[in-house]
Amino acid sequence: MPSFDQSLPLPLKKVQQWFGSIISRPIDYHNNMNAISPSGIAMEIEACQFITPSPTLKPDQRIQIYNQQYWWRLLNTLHELFPLVIRLFGYQSFNQTLGFPYLVKYPPSTWMLNTVGNLLPAYISQFYQSDDSQLVYEAALLDCAFNQAFFAEHIPADLQALAQGNLANILSHTLKLQPHFLLFEFHYNMLEFRHAMLNETPEHWTEQDFPELKACPTYCAVYRNKFNFVTTAVFTEDEYRLLKLFEAGISIDEACEWLDEQTDPLFAESNDSLQHWFHKWFAEEWLSKAD
């Protein structure tokens, strides 16, 4: 329940509460407002208590415009934030299957609309039940990552300050992945699939077969590079497993100790790649200091 200024006149508070309750109700398939108000009264009658008519529109027609604009703006934002998911469903099917129910459960709580879809992957994981649920979930994760990587903070690594004239300080200092560096393990080759899907419009894929979707473990990251472009990187499984240790925070010494304890053949040749990996991670500024 939103908080109100205690000095707010009661009649104005009542109008604001009514207005919010009306515009946040989903419009129907034909973009029409619900004809019955939450109180059970016809909107044609109840709207007259709060809104005056215009020279061309009745009160219920005026509030319907706000109701439509609320939903069109939010749905269009989701369309922009989730281009791959939109292509899997098409606009109308996405709106009915995911858009409306998601926004009813998680209405925006801030003016920053770029965050409105942050909970959609979790919503899909919990509530979307279908044969393609894994694909849709991974598509939403990937789409969401591109948006989050663009806006997330970058923390300077400042290796010189870490070293303080002593290399051991770098090796023992706890490091974390940059907030904009997002690691993923997918069941499918999602990067290749997303690239192919985004080459065509959503309308194209309502009539054409999807490109080949390869079912193979894919280890990758979405991040913002030094030129502030959101891009991706693909890893072998052993590099991914080691890099993932830095999500929670770990020192290089501790990561190397962890690697020495691994008996899985997967890591048999990882020690030979360590120097190359760490050089790349620091050169690309994927690691940051942990506070």
Kind plus residue range of the DSSP H or E element containing 63: helix 59-81
From residue 48, give the alpha-carbon distance in Å to each of 5, 58, 64, 69, 272. Answer: 26, 8, 13, 20, 76
Q: What is the pLDDT of residue 1?
A: 45
CB 176 within 8 A of CB 287: yes
Torsion over CA: 143, 144, 150, 156 (sign): negative
Q: What pLDDT is stored for residue 161 in this prediction?
A: 58
Q: What is the pLDDT of residues 198-252, one digit of tens each?
A: 999 999 999 999 999 989 999 999 999 999 999 999 999 999 999 999 999 999 9
* Amino acid found at 47: A
Residue 76: how many CA atoms within 13 Å on its side-chain side? 6
What is the pLDDT, as a whole number, of residue 132?
95
For the chain, list residues with pLDDT below 50. 1
Dihedral angle, C-alpha 221, 143, 186, 207, nearest 10 °: -140
Contact 290, 175 (CB under 8 A): yes
| Beta strands 182-186 and 218-224, pairing class | antiparallel
Residue-wise burial string across 54-68, b where 16 or more C-beta atoms lie within 10 A, e elsewhere: eeeeebbbbbbeebe
Enumerate domains of the chain plus CATH numbers.
1-78 (no CATH), 144-289 (3.90.930.50)
Residues 6+ apart with CB under 8 A from 100: 26, 71, 75
